[in-house]
Amino acid sequence: MKSGVVVFPGSNCDRDLMVALELVTGTRPVALWHAEAEVPAGLDLIALPGGFSHGDYLRSGAIAARAPVMRAVADHAGRGGLVLGICNGFQVLTEAGLLPGALMRNAGLDFICRDVALEVVTTDSAFTRGYRPGETITVPVAHHDGNFQADAETLDRLEQQGQVAFRYAGEVNGSARRIAGILNDRRNVLGLMPHPERCVEEAHGNLDGRRLFAGLVSVLA
């Protein structure tokens, strides 16, 4: 599986994500600098990491969403290629219009950094096929602006079309309907606030995140 990880000024989880991808896929990802308008041909997955791209000025992900590389990311998704946005990457995807909704300040305005329980809502995607429907997994979060919001019509559509990928098992940050991660309508773009790359080795305490990346390998092998 060939993958690339976009690096913005302020990204701080890009190395973690590259290590996780290499560990699970056996292939080293390429770093995709935000100012480049093109990406290498033949990539299966483009991943947007967590961090504070451009210092989260204006809004989290707002400046990064307008970076030259995002045109290539959108083209990749349009061709059916896989795109994964984690934490700040999820924020960038919503700001770029590749996913609906918006990520707002957490309820209570606190930075949240801890393990959380997630319900796997759908396994009908390349990203979630490594799980069981309704399964509860544990994945860390580390965010200040993780409160997913959308209008009622959009939320209903996400539910009805099976585009909610993960849901917090309990209240975490005020997200509408406790949504933690969503898919686009083609199911080839996933944005989620929790960090699966932080639970891919035994030393991390569990391997629940590894199964997300392993699922991608099984699809693309």
- Evaluated on CA atoms 14, 16, 18, 20, the torsion sign reads negative
* Tokens 């349009």, residue located: 78
Quote the Cα angle for 79-90-82, to 5°: 25
Please give the pLDDT value at position 36. Answer: 95
Give the residue numbers annotated as catalytic, written as ranges.
87, 195, 197
Domain of 123, in residue numbers: 3-220
What size, in residues, is the chain?
221
Q: Is 4 exposed, middle or buried (0-12, 13-18, 19+ CB in 10 A)?
A: buried
Q: What is the pLDDT along the chain (221 residues), one digit of tens a residue?
A: 999 999 999 999 999 999 999 999 999 999 999 999 999 999 999 999 999 999 999 899 999 999 999 999 999 999 999 999 999 999 999 999 999 999 999 999 999 999 999 999 999 999 999 999 999 999 999 999 999 999 999 999 999 999 999 999 999 999 999 999 999 999 999 999 999 999 999 999 999 999 999 999 988 86
* Counted domains in the chain: 1
Residue with tokens 């690339």: 4
CATH number at 35 reads 3.40.50.880
pLDDT of residue 220: 80
Token pair 């690096």: residue = 7
